[in-house]
Each structure stands twice: as C-alpha cells, then as structure tokens.
A and B are shown apart, each in its own frame.
Chain A
Amino acid sequence: METKTEYKPFEVDQHLTAHGNYWAGKAGSRFYTALRDRKKILGSPCKACNKVFWPPRSVCTFCFGELKDLVEIGPLGTVETFTLVTYAEPIHPRPAPFICAVIRLDGADTGMAHFLDEVEFGQVTIGMRVKPVFAKDRKGNILDIRYFKPL
C-alpha cells in the first residue's frame, strides 16, 4: 500500500508583464497634441445629438454618427461626483490618499474623470467649480493635466 504523504499546498509567485503602446487614433491624437502643445482641451461635437463629448471620439457612442470635428471645451468645469482613494496601489500615478472626480467641462455634455487637488477632501462638493493645472513637461497623455483645483 502506498503511504499517504501530506503535502503543503505548493504556491508560486509570478508576474505577467506586458509592455503595451496604445495609439490614440484620429480623435485622440488631435486631442493630445492640442493639450501638449497649446494646453487646450478638445471635445467632439455630435450635430445629430446636439451634444459635445469628452473624451473625443470618431464615432458617436449614442447615435453611431461619424464625428470629424473637434471643438475647444473648458478649461473650467464643475464637479459631478468625487471620492477619496485611501489605499495605495502600484497603478496609481500619485501617492494615496488622493481625490478622484468626474468633472464636466464647460461646453461639454459628458464628464472627464480626473484628480482634484489643492483642496481638502472635506471641502469638496458636487457642483464645485474647478480649473485644470497643467503639467510643465507635457508628454501627450492624460497626466498632461496634473489635476483640477477649485477656482
């Protein structure tokens, strides 16, 4: 008869690491060059829906129309909702705790998810007016806006 040996559950630590490079495409490239070079924030107007969308896109999510134009929106906006991220993760671009929010820029009908700073969490309210703080060294990604802060 086989003697039954008890084995401690065997576990192995590994990582799956993938170095990606995401192309921003037609609308995204124009958005990021304007942000990087001119500190301008662009959105996509849809004539059929009579709305301006952020983020910019080449196809309307809601009516499937082709969108070719971009218009300037913001830079001021209004806080629609917010939270405080209290925990730290390697995916975070800034140390916790930090405030995340959805901000609807003036002239846009959909909001931008981003950070709030230079304000205590307890002071943030829905409806608060905010403006963007741009990064000095802009690279053509969403962190070219460092965060939004109250007016």
Chain B
Amino acid sequence: MTERVAIVGVAQTRFAPKRPDVNYGEMAYEVISRVLQDTGLALPDDIDNAISCSHDIWDGQTISDIGITDVIGGHLRAEEKMAMDGSTAVFYGAVGILSGEYSCSLLMAHTKMSQTNRNIVNNVAFDPIYTRMLGFDYTSAAALQARRYMYKYGITREDAARVVVKNLANAKRNPFAWQSGDLTVADVLSSPAVAPPLHKLDIAPDTDGAVALILASEERARKITDKPVWILGIGTCYDAHYLGDRDLSGVFALEKAAARAYAMAGIKNPRRSVDLAEVSDDFSYQELLWLEGLGFCDRGEGGRYTASGATALGGKLPVNPSGGVLSGVPANVAGLNRVAEAVLQLRGEAGDRQVRGANIAVAQGHSGFCGQHQCVVVLGN
C-alpha cells in the first residue's frame, strides 16, 4: 500500500453470556463512547463515516443498523452496514480511507446471541433448496469438518482439546473474557457430547458483546495517537458454499486470503515474521486448521505444533493470548475482537496477557459455516 491506514483506538465490552440490562444500541454505545473518549475524538465532527457489522437475523430487526444509527453518529451522515464477520469491516473501512473519501472511520460490531437460538439462526444460512430442510446448523456442519480434518491428518480430539485448555487458561488473564479456567485435556474430552467429535467445551459459548475500533489515515493518525497500529496487509476470499463442494479438511479460502494479506504486507515467511496471532476459534479444532491455513505450520501439523507449546503465551508464536473466541466472544464480533486484541498487543496494552516484543500480528475472521469466507489482517506497530 502506498498510503497507510492506522488503527488508532479500540474498545470492547466485558463479554457476558447475557446482557439483559441493555439493548443492542445501548451495548454498542458502551464501546463507541469509550473508544471516542480514549482517542479524544468527538462525534459528529471528528469521524467521517461509520461502519457497523451485524446481522438482521441475529438482531431480530430488519435493516438492524436502524437501531445503532443514533449511537454510531449516523444521523445525516455516512453510515454503512455489512453483514459478515467483523474482520471484514476492517477491510471495508481501510478501503474507504485509502480511497481518499474518508480520513477517520468508526467501526463497530455487536451481537446479542442470548436473545435468540443460534442453531435456528444458523440454519437459515444453509441454501434453502438442497440443505436447509435437513436441519443443519453451524455446529453440526463444524462437526463434519472436524471429523474430516481429523481423519485426513490423524488429528485427535486431544489435539483439539489442547486448544481449549490453552485458550481458557489465557482467558484468565483477560478481564474482558467471561469463560476461563484451569482445565485439563480430560475435562474437555469428558464434557458432554454435542455433535461428536465436538463436545461442549470445544464450542464457543453464546455471548453478548460489542467491539468498536477507529481507523485513520496516516496524517490523521499522527495527530490522534503516538501509538498507531498500522494495517500492513489485508485479504479476503470466498470458498464454495455447499458442504459437499468443499474439501472440509482444506483451507482453500484462508490460504488465498492469507496470501493476499501477506503479499500486501511484504511478508514472505509468516513463520519468521509474525509475532502473534489472534484467530477465530469458534470451535477448538478450527484453531489448528486456521494455523495451517495461515501458514504457521505445515498442513496436518496443527495438532503437533500446538502440542509443542509453540502457540502458548510465551511460546514461539502465541495464538489467542486473549483466550480467543472460546473464551466467549459473540458471532460476527469475533473477527473485530481478534483485530482489537492484536492492536492491544502491538500497543503493549494487553496487560497480563501481553506478548513480549510483539511487532507484527495476524488477526483472522471468517463468516459462513465451516469458514466459507475468510479475512486476514496483518498489523504492525
């Protein structure tokens, strides 16, 4: 990129299984007001446009950015909504700034998973002609992906369980996470079966929360903060839709999205260049799969790589020092939260979960079942 885009502020709610005290607009306002306060910016004058990320069907309102127009500063101004994972909002926001149309943009993702039934919501994401009537949801689809991946590469449930153990231990250090603890692999294996090989602790819990983030052009960023975090590279990619069309053990879309992001960032060898990663571990095994797709280890090596301790806090390449999505981050917010956590790391503001000497971080998000659409963001300080 000839011009640079910076992330100049982030805010996240304290995630919780249920927030009965706020509607989604008020929940969004919590993070919007905080990120404005932290950056010293004010609406409407200092922000050129706003991008929100949520889904009507999760929100229970048609054109659901209606419910956040007031709090995001959209009144009489530019406001867009995208219905994908929040990581893609960073892509969209960065493009707006690079186009020269905007110099400072407010991004926000929110979801209250507690207000509805995730399986019913997710079932509607399957094509209505051939698949939806069979009652699939993201968990049953993920179980098919998990088994295929395990079968092809000899990954075990223990390998996946180690991700849960690591991430929930990391989450103890993250004041925003709500699910954490000192678990053993045996605890994960013996949690109730949901859709084998997936058991309860392999699956990210229902969570309410929001994340906000402010992007700025280089010129604006220098005035706003002395700790800008730069978007070095960013890429997205769609895979095919139907479950049977995809190589479920593969990482076609993620590899392409990552290749695009790395090329833009000038990264030739991610294993050498990247200091930490925040990936969207909606399910335990997905962290292993995504590590491979991001090129941090060879195909099929995700389990061994994790077992080696490389991805632990203090390891060679800490992955999800925040505790990841398994520690409780809502759908759609997950990817923006990954970016926000990576920003905190690069700013040295990650508290007890800080990775020492972090200069380059990768954040990954996906939308659609089994990660059909992938987005990779490479950040640097």
Question: Which residues from chain A sit less than 8 Å from chain B, CB to CB?
Answer: 9, 11, 14, 16, 20, 22, 24-25, 28, 53-55, 61-62, 80-87, 89-94, 100-102, 104, 110-115, 121, 126, 141-143
Contacts of A87 in B (CB 8 A): 119, 194-195
A-B contact pairs, 22 of them (CB 8 A): A11-B20, A16-B60, A24-B129, A25-B129, A53-B245, A80-B244, A82-B147, A84-B196, A86-B195, A87-B119, A87-B194, A89-B123, A91-B120, A93-B133, A100-B136, A102-B144, A110-B244, A113-B131, A113-B136, A114-B134, A121-B196, A142-B133
- CB pair B244 A83 closer than 8 Å: no
In this complex, the member of B123, B128, B195, B242 whose beta carbon has the largest number of chain A beta carbons within 10 angstroms is B242
* B232-262 vs A, Cβ < 8 Å mask (1 yes, 0 no): 0000000011111100100000000000000
Contact partner of A61 among B123, B135, B143, B245, CB < 8 A?
B245
Check if A83 sits within 8 Å of B60, measured CB to CB.
Answer: no
Interface residues of B in 126-149 (CB under 8 A from A): 127-131, 133-137, 140, 143-145, 147-148
For A20, the closest partner residue in chain B by CB is: B128
Q: Are A81 and B148 in contact (CB under 8 A)?
A: yes
Q: Which of B20, B137, B144, B245 is the one whose CB lies under 8 Å from A82?
A: B144
B117 sits at the interface (CB 8 A) = yes
CA distance A113 to B145 in the complex (A): 12
* Interchain CA distance A22-B131 in the complex, whole Å: 12
A123 to chain B, nearest CB (A): 13
Closest Cβ–Cβ distance, residue B162 to chain A (whole Å): 21
With A22-B128, A91-B123, A102-B248 already in contact, the answer to whether A126 and B135 are too (CB < 8 A) is no
User: Contact between B193 and A90 (Cβ–Cβ < 8 Å)?
Assistant: no
CB within 8 A of A90: which of B120, B133, B143? B120
**B60 A93 Cβ-Cβ under 8 A:** no
Which chain B residues numbered 176 to 190 have a C-beta less than 8 Å away from chain A? none
